[in-house]
Structure 1
Amino acid sequence: MSVAEAARLWAEADPHEGDRAEILALVSAGDTAELERRFAGPLTFGTAGLRGPLRAGPAGMNAAVVTRAAAGLGAWLTASGSAGGGIVIGFDARRRSDEFAHVSAAVLTAAGFAVQVLPTALPTPVLSFAVRHLGCVAGVMVTASHNPPDDNGYKVYLGDGAQLVPPADREIEAAIAAVGPAREVPLADDWLTLGDDVEADYVAAVVAALEPARVPSRGDLVVAYTAMHGVGAETTRAVFAAAGLAEPVSVPEQDRPDPAFPTVAFPNPEEPGAVDLLTALAARVGADVAIAEDPDADRCSVVCGGRQLTGDEVGALLADWLLRRGVRGTYASSLVSGSLMHVVAQAHGVPSEETPTGFKWIMRAGSASAPLVYGYEEALGYSVAPSVVRDKDGISAALAVALLAAELKASGRTLLDRLDDLAREHGLFVTGQLSVRVEDLTLISDAMARLRSAPRLRCSAAAWRSPTWPWRARRWTRCACSGTASG
């Protein structure tokens, strides 16, 4: 079958008039190259679900793909013994997010599930919280997090509130492949739209978990903040108010949801220039700390003294803060994160674990005798209250950073001062990040194959971690203990 014939068949089965017309226009124009991109294969389940560009065809996020994804998820849940259970669905403010949420609700309701939809565009942590809070068997969040403006995604949570892990992802993918034409999937419209109480319950749970009353001087802290055109602002303000903190001073150009993300080239706090407006605002208002959340508010970045902290620096600071508060249990980070947190945990006599990449694995660390109490990943993801949200949560992390900064301010100190303390106590740990964006996904698999065949070795020599090591002078060196190039 030619790609044009495959495209015509897809269009015939597409339930969305606009998406169908988009494909037929490409066929009429004879744009074989674009059709081949869109029909190279279906989107695959990656980290907890689907993610891709908003475009018609099987290799994009659109109504037909979402319809079949919801049908496959429902079939898998039914086969797994969860037929008729509750499913909660949330969505962010990206283009078509609300549409995809309602399409999913219609499909899953017709499949016999008790579907509840959050009332408006809300942060991903609220949806993750709602899964357990409402006793659901699964949750769906329509979001592409910090991806480019033309993307959207479909994230799946299981009944424990955590993202799904293998083999569930492959099983759901197989169930989606077995679904017939999207136009033939049954739909029903009698789902329940929830009120504002779930968000209010989330706010109360976050504040209760972090005990802000332990920081008497918290009301004096000045925080600069940006939602980066996402959905975190109102919920974050509610958390800060409930915790007794002053309202954050927000970047006005980025405070309201805007799916075009007009003031940033890429809506990711890690990207160069993304926090420039925040840093400038912090300087103008004399902020003690500045916090940026990504568009769905499940990650946050921290700026102090005009410097953007790395994810590993914030990860270690928050772990140290919780440990000094007496929070005992398992501390975890992924293998792509730094080592300082583990050294700090060891010094406090608590267990720590290193997991595969992703919060779907971090949230499964710990044991019955030492449950997970903190997890982080260097890509600005933190779980400071896993009893509330079993995923990364930029809002509760923002509150934790603010409380730590308020504690330090009371004694005339800052987050940077505490980082210096940690370096003196445990050695200087320096990490960096290399980000490469590709369209040809085979480049990723090829690069990973090369790394696995010739892995870089970590150095455990004391000299490598010494605060006097001249890390500013060079990026690479020869490791004293193995002679292997390390960085």
Structure 2
Amino acid sequence: MTSDLHAAVREWLAHDPDPGAAAELAGCADSELAERFAAPLTFGTAGLRGPLRAGPNGMNLAVVLRTTWAVATVLRRRGLDADHVVVGYDARHRSAEFGRACAEVFAAQGFPVILMFAPVPTPAVAFTVRRTGAAAGVQITASHNPASDNGYKVYFPGGLQIIPPVDAEIEAAIATAPPADQIPRSPVAVSGADQVHAYVERAAGVRRATGSVRVALTAMHGVGGEYALDALALAGIDDVHVVAAQFAPDPDFPTVAFPNPEEPGATDALLTLAAEVDADIAIALDPDADRCAVGVPTAQGWRMLSGDETGWLLGDYLLSTGEAATSVVASTVVSSRMLASIAAAHGARHVETLTGFKWLARADQGLDATLVYAYEEAIGHCVDPEAVRDKDGISAAVLACDLVAALRADGRSVPDALDGLARRHGVHTTTAVTRRLESPSAAAEVMTRLRAEPPARLAGFSVDVTDLQPRTDALVFSGGDDTASVRVVVRPSGTEPKLKCYLEVRCADELTEARERAALVQSTLVDDVRALL
């Protein structure tokens, strides 16, 4: 261990309020200590997320205390020190401890605090910030990350995720924060039960149709199970069968390799249950219940819908039951383009944003119309923006069940609805190609090469390139004709050394022929993109 690293570790331990930190760091090899102390955690999607471990590059009590002090400092600078803040937490390891510590720092800084009475879904915090006019909200969660992680998500007024330059302001304030053991803390009483009840009632209220629906549900070992059952029951949907082994919160997520409904195998138990009970729909929530995946029965058996497919269905349903002329729907640059076509057909406005709900939630800013729906392909759906300006798995689950009931009343199924959308807007297929690299710099080198030498053709089509810099580091390749088109978005991951490519094919023809052609074009496109990287 170098003298500088030794000094950094010694200084950290001198002020770390966690009594277990010294033993933990004493057991680390020099290489691991160097990694933990190389740099602090940085703000990513609306906050911090990282492994539970001692040191500045981990999620731990000291980092939570100093980060909360920094958030409070930024709020005061912005003149929001007279308002209250909302603090919630999920059921991960140490979440309750971190949540209470966060609340106590805000209280010591003079902010009235609503500290949630129990582990709650992330959208319940976003809802409460918006409903109560809070200055900010913090949810302790790592969403669908592995069990070894935790995180710190920040909302500002309106229940909106923070965006630049607020994240940079908070990071700068963290750098000037006092040592963790010198940050004042004041006791805080738990509260918020009435706010969470209001959230559940609001989620139930997104229902439009009537009729029973048989549901298979998994909470993926997270906090959403009981809240989802309550919301569904209030919406008149009480024939719900749960994956018992995954229903109670368990921070170790013992039955899944990764607690993410998108991961292969994660929804196997759910689809087995759905088939056993002859369900009408299968619902998978991620551990903090802000994302919702949907499974449906087909002639070939049960399958999970992609995030795009669910987005098409919910977007079309909401526009068909609301005031489309004054409505905005939104999706991200890496999501399917079908929602834009659906919106045009309804006479509504579609907005394409950068990736993430911090941008989707603001899609109607400056427009003379109101956001009614937003989604991203990674199974995030905002179906009631008036109440929750973020993705919300529980209200999305209620609306998805409602859609099934409405379709059945019309003599149709979800596959029928997807067929109908394909006939009206063309067959759209989506997939992804990922290339892992040895370092972020290697990913940057590939992006530089693609900018300098973009492909002229992909899957047999001439393509144009759109560079999204400086808004974001991404390239869009698109081309086609009246009967078929291709679109590829390439961007580096924000958290890992890899490139992510989002592929979409659209074919317009008789349904069977269009699907066959789309499959062939997509296969060629995948090969071309892999060769390109």
Q: CA deviation at 1:287?
A: 0.6
CA contact (8 A) 2:429 2:522 kept: no
SS in 2 for 1:170: helix
CA contact (8 A) 1:478 1:486 kept: no
C-alpha separation in 2, matches of 1:35 and 1:225: 42
* Comparing 394-403 and 6-15, the one that deviates more: 6-15
Amino acid at match of 1:63: L
In the other structure, the counterpart of 2:389 is: 390
* Comparing 128-137 and 449-458, the one that deviates more: 449-458
Kindly provide the CA deviation profile for residues 145-185 of structure 1, in whole angstroms up to 9, marking residues without a partner as x: 00011000000000111100001001110001111211111
Rate the CA distance shift 1:195–1:48 in 2: closer, same or farther, 3 A: closer
Q: CA deviation at 1:411?
A: 3.4
Rate the CA distance shift 1:436–1:127 in 2: closer, same or farther, 3 A: farther
Rate the CA distance shift 1:121–1:264 in 2: closer, same or farther, 3 A: same
C-alpha separation in 2, matches of 1:151 and 1:441: 21
Q: CA deviation at 1:441?
A: 4.9
In the other structure, the counterpart of 2:402 is: 403
Q: Does 1:44 align with 2:42?
A: yes
In the other structure, the counterpart of 1:371 is: 370
Amino acid at match of 2:81: A
In the other structure, the counterpart of 1:194 is: 191
CA contact (8 A) 2:222 2:286 kept: yes
C-alpha separation in 1, matches of 2:436 and 2:193: 38
* Comparing 251-260 and 177-186, the one that deviates more: 177-186
C-alpha separation in 2, matches of 1:435 and 1:248: 37
C-alpha separation in 2, matches of 1:234 and 1:348: 36
Kindly provide the CA deviation profile for residues 299-324 of structure 1, in whole angstroms up to 9, marking residues without a partner as x: 01111121111100000000010111
In the other structure, the counterpart of 1:118 is: 116
Q: CA deviation at 1:368?
A: 4.6
Rate the CA distance shift 1:351–1:108 in 2: closer, same or farther, 3 A: same
Rate the CA distance shift 1:327–1:292 in 2: closer, same or farther, 3 A: farther
Q: Does 1:20 align with 2:12?
A: no
- What 5-or-longer segments of structure 2 have no aligned partner? 455-474, 485-505
Kindly provide the CA deviation profile for residues 269-292 of structure 1, in whole angstroms up to 9, marking residues without a partner as x: 100000000010000000111010
Rate the CA distance shift 1:298–1:304 in 2: closer, same or farther, 3 A: same
In the other structure, the counterpart of 2:103 is: 105
Q: CA deviation at 1:440?
A: 5.1
In the other structure, the counterpart of 1:348 is: 346
In the other structure, the counterpart of 1:216 is: 210
In the other structure, the counterpart of 2:520 is: 473
Q: CA deviation at 1:436?
A: 6.3
C-alpha separation in 2, matches of 1:182 and 1:439: 35
- What 5-or-longer segments of structure 1 have no aligned partner? 480-484
C-alpha separation in 2, matches of 1:75 and 1:128: 21
In the other structure, the counterpart of 1:4 is: 6
Kindly provide the CA deviation profile for residues 417-464 of structure 1, in whole angstroms up to 9, marking residues without a partner as x: 100000011100111134567895555555555555544512352221
Kindly provide the CA deviation profile for residues 44-99 of structure 1, in whole angstroms up to 9, marking residues without a partner as x: 00110000000000110000111110011111111111113201100000000001
Q: CA deviation at 1:408?
A: 1.3
Rate the CA distance shift 1:438–1:247 in 2: closer, same or farther, 3 A: farther
C-alpha separation in 1, matches of 2:402 and 2:255: 29
Q: Does 1:422 align with 2:442?
A: no
The structure with the greater share of residues assigned to strand is 2
SS in 2 for 1:2: helix
Q: Does 1:204 align with 2:224?
A: no
SS in 2 for 1:458: strand
SS in 2 for 1:43: coil
Q: CA deviation at 1:24?
A: 3.4
In the other structure, the counterpart of 2:489 is: none
CA contact (8 A) 1:237 1:247 kept: no
Q: CA deviation at 1:473?
A: 3.1
Q: How much identity, in percent, do the aligned residues show?
A: 47
CA contact (8 A) 2:342 2:425 kept: yes
SS in 2 for 1:475: helix
Q: CA deviation at 1:223?
A: 0.8
CA contact (8 A) 2:223 2:289 kept: yes
Q: CA deviation at 1:326?
A: 2.4
CA contact (8 A) 1:116 1:194 kept: yes
Q: CA deviation at 1:132?
A: 1.6
CA contact (8 A) 1:459 1:486 kept: no
- Summarize the alignment of residues 72-87 of structure 1 with structure 2, pairs less than 5 Å apart: 72-87=70-85
SS in 2 for 1:273: coil
Rate the CA distance shift 1:154–1:182 in 2: closer, same or farther, 3 A: same
Kindly provide the CA deviation profile for residues 91-147 of structure 1, in whole angstroms up to 9, marking residues without a partner as x: 000000001101111111111111110000010010100102222100000000000
CA contact (8 A) 1:456 1:486 kept: no
Rate the CA distance shift 1:154–1:440 in 2: closer, same or farther, 3 A: farther
- Summarize the alignment of residues 101-250 of structure 1 with structure 2, pairs less than 5 Å apart: 101-189=99-187, 191-208=188-205, 210=206, 212=207, 214-217=208-211, 219=212, 221-250=213-242
CA contact (8 A) 1:229 1:254 kept: yes
Amino acid at match of 1:148: P
Aligned residues: 474
In the other structure, the counterpart of 1:288 is: 280
Rate the CA distance shift 1:327–1:300 in 2: closer, same or farther, 3 A: farther
CA contact (8 A) 1:11 1:24 kept: no
- Aligned with residue 301 of structure 1, among 268, 276, 293: 293
In the other structure, the counterpart of 2:501 is: none
Q: CA deviation at 1:475?
A: 2.8
CA contact (8 A) 1:43 1:58 kept: yes
Q: CA deviation at 1:186?
A: 1.3
CA contact (8 A) 1:4 1:35 kept: no
SS in 2 for 1:117: strand
C-alpha separation in 1, matches of 2:372 and 2:291: 18
Kindly provide the CA deviation profile for residues 19-57 of structure 1, in whole angstroms up to 9, marking residues without a partner as x: 23312343xxxx111101211210000110000000000
In the other structure, the counterpart of 1:458 is: 478
Rate the CA distance shift 1:77–1:22 in 2: closer, same or farther, 3 A: same
